[in-house]
Structure 1
């Protein structure tokens, strides 16, 4: 909800304005002087509006407006005037001054409507927090069962899944459901500067060793989550391997990784001995495109959170929107679904979101499936899977990103019948 700064020396009028704005879904904050108003203005988020009295004991609305312009703030300012005196109007509104004025005796009639003209929509940010997002598919039920099974042990684990599938949330759930939950947790990103290390002059160890070792010391008895472990360089892998194999720290290690880690182990760009120490157990997180029955449930979850954060009525997906969401391949998985759904909720004119309100991202990296079309056997499997998901050749063509005519030619070439079955 938008912040509205009220700068007025009248405590009673400030209370009235705050009450009116709160009921209208705004978040008012009050200041009783120009100086206090300046301090509050510095903290205002984008989309805010300032409502100020024409005169206060330490200055005027024009002084506040000029200060805002000097400091580079472009919040719209609405001035409350006792009387609409032409001279005062000219002074406060000329030269890019106040955007509007309201009369003090008509606050109850004019305030909310006037603020509504200038309050820009607030950008709502929802993040994937540490809780599991509800899903209903059988594949997800197996994931939850696996979480409980691993949490009951002290085994290290790797969570495999595509980008944006919620791997870190699963890793945290293992920690939270385990006996180690009473001990510290450390989360570190393999591809960040966190693994570079800080040199200690009193130590004869490498900077990298000191940094990685410090994570284990800090998490003694608890858990370390290493995000995107496939991004570890060979040097960092060697240090981690040394600590785990020779020092045996009392720390459970849970890693997240994209499926390419398995190929890296095969071609020795990731040390196999380290891999098997880290992968004492594992979980494979299904991609969103493989569990389309979860999509409406997850989308509705995001819509509920959006409504709670904005204070607006919850929006719902109609059948056309659900179908459109199910047909999209979701290379960004949950993270991308969240962004698409929130964008639709923000821009939909009605309380029901239809397919026309949904805008999918136009620029996408080439997927493994697309690259594998060069392999005829893999290409054939991809086409059959696309047909099974879409339940029509029109939908399958959309999923594959090709025309229906091109898909028909491929079916003939690869031997796939109209029912999506391989020809004998």
Structure 2
């Protein structure tokens, strides 16, 4: 194309289609034209790169197999030279592994051949919405939701902002209380689904007998007590994001059904005869090591690979101590707004004590400590004496990651240590530390187990299991 021809043609077109099959190109063009979109269609990687240099596009659809290369190479080229352009890949049925590789390289989403028009319309709608909503969302709610400027936190934020630009399933891994749901909401608010619902689900809090009905809904009369039709969580999140917290708690039988729902993008309500299509982005989280659960046979490997396309690690609070002053100020302001009056201040000694503490319960524990300190403090300033820290859990008393305790945090070697010559049957120091932490949480809530479990960052079922193990149920 010469310079005169380039000047005569419009400099902005909606969609670039890259596929070596002419009938596929025509089908896609016709489908997109019905949506009012202008298209360019080419059959090779070289032609696609030439068009990208000559014009601006809002979306690129590319086949994975092309005569002079593949879609993965084009995805990489677009990420390097057109980083704001969403690119979706078209892959053959059964080639999900290749599509996942494309998502990891930065692709927005994928569709399988034969291309279903409904799925194509949903993909295009979300992709074109990306540029229109991303900048607007970035300057509002997420800025207030994420507090911190430490290197570990800024790296996390940058990763989350990148993940918000695609539809890939994300697995968020981190200790209890690190803010996994906060970062999931951040990803949702910056993405193309920000106008849709964000539906959080604690998988460990749903009775196994009701899980299928809760996730997929049910029809009237499908079982005793089903007095009317009920919408499931997947349907409630349609057009938005479904966040499955503590996904490692799902029973194996439910894992099979969840895998099918993710693969088919459809669910079948209990008592229904046909599946219903759903359009959700899936985010999941757990404080457990899912790889270990797979090795132990407690989590399906195929589901693990499907939800773990991209892993986002939440740094514990002890790795971002620089953020404690800003977090504390934010929490104290929120407590003051709730109770009325001016926010309390932290003395230098109190702030020093907090920054020297290991925070096994992370940000959630910081919130609980400050709320208790506000209740006990008589003046406007919180001093170190007003903050009740757990014994021997200062930064200097903690071991390396190889000594991680049952919650994923490190247990001090001298805490409750009985020595190598202890009596047979004595519990290890890690178990003592966990039991003391749970007892104190129960005492603080007057043995309200639901409230204690919530403060500890575990499910009620997990708390009951530990109490039964120690003969305290």
Q: TM-score, normalised by structure 1?
A: 0.52
Task: Give the match for residue 234 of structure 1.
Answer: 252
> What is the total number of aligned residue pairs between the two structures?
250
Structure 2: where are the runs of 5+ without partners? 1-141, 267-277, 420-473
Could you tell me how far 1:247 is from its partner in structure 2?
A: 4.1
2:241 paired residue among 216, 223, 233: 223
**Helix, strand or coil: the match of 2:279?**
coil
Residue 185 (structure 1) aligned with residue 206 (structure 2): no
Structure 1: where are the runs of 5+ without partners? 1-128, 387-395, 407-424
Task: Give the match for residue 271 of structure 1.
Answer: 300
Could you say if the C-alpha distance between residues 378 and 165 of structure 1 is closer, same or farther in structure 2, counting changes exceeding 3 Å?
closer
Give the CA RMSD over aligned residues: 3.7
2:165 paired residue among 152, 157, 163: 152
Alignment map for 1:5-404 (pairs within 5 Å): 132-193=145-206, 196-198=211-213, 200=219, 214-247=232-265, 249-361=278-390, 378=402, 401-402=414-415
- Partners of 1:170 and 1:188 in 2: CA distance: 15
- Partners of 2:144 and 2:176 in 1: CA distance: 17
Task: Give the match for residue 74 of structure 2.
Answer: none
Asked if the contact 2:152/2:319 (under 8 Å) is kept, the reply is no
Name which of structure 1's ranges 235-244 and 342-351 shifts more when overlaid on structure 2: 342-351
- Partners of 1:285 and 1:154 in 2: CA distance: 20
Could you tell me how far 1:305 is from its partner in structure 2?
A: 1.7
Could you say if the C-alpha distance between residues 326 and 222 of structure 1 is closer, same or farther in structure 2, counting changes exceeding 3 Å?
same
- Partners of 2:205 and 2:338 in 1: CA distance: 31
Poorly superposed stretches of 4+, deviation over 3 Å: 197-204, 246-249, 361-364, 398-404
- Partners of 2:188 and 2:238 in 1: CA distance: 14
- Partners of 2:280 and 2:332 in 1: CA distance: 38
1:132-155 Cα offsets, whole Å, 9 max, x none, are: 241121100111111111111011
- Partners of 1:220 and 1:303 in 2: CA distance: 36
1:262-295 Cα offsets, whole Å, 9 max, x none, are: 3212333111111111122221011112222222
Could you say if the C-alpha distance between residues 284 and 136 of structure 1 is closer, same or farther in structure 2, counting changes exceeding 3 Å?
same
Could you say if the C-alpha distance between residues 305 and 183 of structure 1 is closer, same or farther in structure 2, counting changes exceeding 3 Å?
closer
Task: Give the match for residue 121 of structure 1.
Answer: none
Could you say if the C-alpha distance between residues 243 and 311 of structure 1 is closer, same or farther in structure 2, counting changes exceeding 3 Å?
closer
1:388-410 Cα offsets, whole Å, 9 max, x none, are: xxxxxxxx9x9655499x9xxxx
Asked if the contact 1:296/1:322 (under 8 Å) is kept, the reply is yes
Could you tell me how far 1:331 is from its partner in structure 2?
A: 1.6
The structure whose Rg is larger is: 1
**Helix, strand or coil: the match of 1:191?**
helix
Q: TM-score, normalised by structure 2?
A: 0.47
Asked if the contact 2:265/2:279 (under 8 Å) is kept, the reply is no
Could you tell me how far 1:200 is from its partner in structure 2?
A: 3.6
1:82-108 Cα offsets, whole Å, 9 max, x none, are: xxxxxxxxxxxxxxxxxxxxxxxxxxx
